[in-house]
Amino acid sequence: MEYERLELVQPHYGMVNVYRVGDTLIDTGHPCSDSRDRLLEALDESLSGIERVVLTHPHIDHVGGSLTIDELTSLPHTVFEGTDEILRGFDEYLAAARTEMAEFASGLTDGDPSADDQYFPTDLNYATDEVAIERVVTAGDTVAVGPYDCTAIHTPGHSHQHMSLYHEPSGVMLSGDIVSTNGHFMYGPVHWDIDEYRTGLQRIQTCDPDLLLPGHGDPMTNPAERVSDALEKVDQAEQSVEQVVNEQGPIAAGEIAMEALGATEITVQFLSRVASAYAIHLAEQGKIEIERQPYIVARPR
């Protein structure tokens, strides 16, 4: 498969990839002005001739251009089932995501959690009704990606509506955010699920691709090793979080992130969200208990 990768900026979390494969754009970046401006420039230059869009999942850093750039909004979109409902009700999803990410990241300082206006801007006119959703696909469907026929692989966990696109003849998989650059579970607001995350990774294992084109970071030339590492890390994280809570609880998510996940001052805010997700997951399994006050506090069962 021949492809082009364009890196776009997003607030706080580094770069996000969009890919061009023939006349198809895969994902459309964050709606921040830096990302939109760069993407608009590319659409006049290196990305000229784009005729359709495929979205791997409905997170704001992957659908921003579709909802804020007229030239993209009007193009026919292919999305996985459930993504269409989120795009049509994006304001409601945005409110839920803002609330959850604030709650999951708090507990590091005193005071009520506050929403991140930079990452989740509410002052934009999102084209929720105008975005041209031409096709909603399910697992196993064939998706045209430029001149290639790819298979839609349902790879949930980061988002229940997440799909990867596998071109078996070349061994290339457009993998979105299911495999992170560091191999750890990449929390995504509202529709995350750690059990589903294992399932998504195992589905990639079954495909056995030769190359992953992820939503963040460089192409991954060793998919089997990356996926095995990610599966091991989710087991290790579960065990570490449970151990820390049983040894030190009651303990806030920010402290769990530092004690169990090795968070630093730079990474602790995001890893607090990851720690919150693991704590909720373990509580659902009956292994620990959690309390929201207004942030996540875990305690031994």
Percent of the chain with pLDDT over 90: 83
Distance separating alpha carbons of residues 110 and 2, to the nearest angstrom: 51
Percent of the chain with pLDDT over 70: 97
What pLDDT is attached to residue 279? 95
Give pLDDT tens digits for 78-89. Answer: 999 999 999 999
Give pLDDT tens digits for 227-283. Answer: 999 999 999 999 999 999 999 989 999 899 999 999 888 888 888 899 999 999 999
Which residue matches tokens 């930079």? Answer: 118
Give pLDDT tens digits for 203-226. Answer: 999 999 999 999 999 999 999 999
Give pLDDT tens digits for 53-107. Answer: 999 999 999 999 999 999 999 999 999 999 999 999 999 999 999 999 888 876 5
Six-digit token string for 129: 């009704």
Q: How confident is the model at residue 188 (pLDDT cuts 50, 70, 90)?
A: very high
Distance separating alpha carbons of residues 179 and 282, to the nearest angstrom: 22
What pLDDT is attached to residue 103? 86
- Please check the confidence at residue 163 and state whether its pLDDT lies above 70: yes
Give residue limits of the domains in the chain. Answer: 4-230, 240-300
Q: 101, 93 in Cβ contact below 8 A?
A: no
Distance separating alpha carbons of residues 148 and 163, to the nearest angstrom: 17
What pLDDT is attached to residue 139? 98
**Exposed, middle or buried by CB within 10 Å (0-12, 13-18, 19+), for 231?**
middle
CATH class of 4-230: alpha beta
- Please check the confidence at residue 109 and state whether its pLDDT lies above 70: no
The helix/strand/coil state of 165 is strand
The listed CATH number (3.30.310, 1.20.950, 3.90.1690, 1.10.10) that belongs to domain 240-300: 1.10.10
Q: Model-level pTM?
A: 0.95
**ω into residue 219 within 30 of 0, thus cis?**
no
